[in-house]
Amino acid sequence: MESVVFVHGIWMMGIDMSLLKKRVRQCGYKTYQFSYPTVRRSPEQNAKKLQQFVHNIESEKIHFIAHSLGGLVVRHLFALYPQQAAGNVITLGTPHSGSLIAMRLVRYRWGRLILGKSVHDGLLGGAPQWHAPNKLGVIAGIGRIGIGRFFARFREDNDGTVAVSETKIKGMADYLILDCAHMGFLFNKSVAKQVCAFLKTGHFTFPNKI
């Protein structure tokens, strides 16, 4: 059986991904949750812990589903340890080019405190480029519901926390925009359907033009 590793976003522990994990299991995959300290360690430091976690999974094919900051951790993983098992990677609402919200928050002392080390080659940009042979599928949202509207006024489509333009990355195999909010990715049935399609084929069912 193929395996799927779930990597949660900032300030979370992985419980938030439970419903999506259940739906992916129903598609025939064995699921694992990687939990990590999102602000006490940098994405690179967490990627090293993720490698230790993945190393203990016995499976010929290991996929990754990452939400928000988790996608940046996965990018560091593949840069540090390029010889990963075959498998596809999906990011949900990940600010691949940096987060406007994070840029606004770091202006304040309290903002720097709550973001911690997540900004180090992470939410402010600077994560490694994608050169892995593993197919990367990116899903962005336009639900416009999230904490972002309290800290910045987006001048483009967004999921409430991350702008659509922030989710794009050179080297992605497929790209999809759904009417979904940032946290809604984890509960939306359409997202789960598209995730399972990409895990199986390396393409979304209804892809947008990249």
What the chain holds in terms of domains, given with CATH numbers, is 3-201 (3.40.50.1820)
What confidence tens digit (pLDDT) does each residue in 61-75 have? 999 999 999 999 999
pLDDT bucket at 48, cuts 50 / 70 / 90: very high
Is pTM beyond 0.85? Reply is: yes
- Kindly provide the b/e burial profile for residues 137-148, where b requires at least 16 CB atoms within 10 angstroms of the residue's own CB: bbbbbbbbbbeb
pLDDT at residue number 146: 61
* Six token digits for residue 110: 């309290």
What confidence tens digit (pLDDT) does each residue in 128-172 have? 999 999 999 999 999 877 666 666 677 889 999 999 999 999 999
* Six token digits for residue 36: 């990590």
CA dihedral 168, 99, 127, 6 (to 10 degrees): -80
